[in-house]
């Protein structure tokens, strides 16, 4: 169970802070709910989700040790590039929406490498790939920055340097 003040990853909203835990009655049934908000837009969105031990939409942030392992994984090649942009988008979105941070890191790694490769040829990623990369980076890099008590910019710089050294 999470506590008030905890940071979590909540579904498609990224990193959220639990602001309250309160009882609410919905359709005649009273249950406890987490009240949380995305840390990026606290005043724009409030989310209520039932308190349950197996809520697949809420994930605990990675710890320092796992964050270090995720950073180290960027020296590897990521995952296999899928040439069909429709298949790639579906596959990568499914993995990003899962709970496995290593899979998210592998996708970010692959997309960054492809972006660098295309830039050398004066090309760029498909718009869908850019959007997916931006979203996955924003959540993953913020999570890593929080876990390692640093900034998103420093995480980005470390990862890009690892990828360039490995290329």
- Identify the CATH number of the domain in which residue 52 sits: 2.40.10.170
Angle between helices 85-96 and 101-120 (to 10 degrees): 140
For residues 98 and 149, membership in a common domain is answered with yes
Average pLDDT over residues 122-127: 95
Mean pLDDT across the chain, nearest whole number?
Answer: 92
Taking only the tens place, the pLDDT of each residue in 131-148 is 999 999 999 999 999 999
Taking only the tens place, the pLDDT of each residue in 82-111 is 999 999 999 999 998 887 999 999 999 999
Statement: residue 76 has pLDDT above 80: yes
pTM: 0.88
Q: Is residue 1 part of a domain?
A: no
Statement: residue 26 has pLDDT above 90: no
The domain of 68 spans 64-166
- CATH assignment at residue 127: 1.20.58.1290
For residues 158 and 100, membership in a common domain is answered with yes
């Amino acid at each position: 169970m999470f506590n008030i003040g905890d940071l979590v990853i909540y579904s498609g909203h990224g990193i959220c802070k639990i602001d309250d835990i309160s009882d609410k009655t919905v359709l005649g049934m009273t249950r406890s709910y987490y009240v949380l908000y995305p840390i990026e837009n606290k005043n724009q969105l409030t989310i209520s989700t039932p308190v349950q031990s197996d809520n697949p939409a809420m994930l605990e942030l990675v710890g320092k040790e796992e964050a270090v392992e995720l950073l180290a994984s960027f020296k590897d090649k990521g995952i296999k590039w899928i040439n069909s942009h429709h298949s790639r988008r579906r596959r990568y979105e499914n993995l990003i929406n899962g709970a496995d941070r290593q899979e998210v890191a592998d996708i970010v790694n692959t997309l960054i490498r492809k972006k660098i490769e295309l830039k050398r040829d004066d090309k760029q990623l498909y718009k869908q790939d850019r959007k997916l990369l931006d979203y996955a980076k924003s959540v993953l890099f913020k999570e890593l920055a929080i876990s390692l008590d640093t900034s998103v910019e420093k995480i980005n710089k470390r990862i890009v340097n690892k990828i360039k050294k490995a290329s």
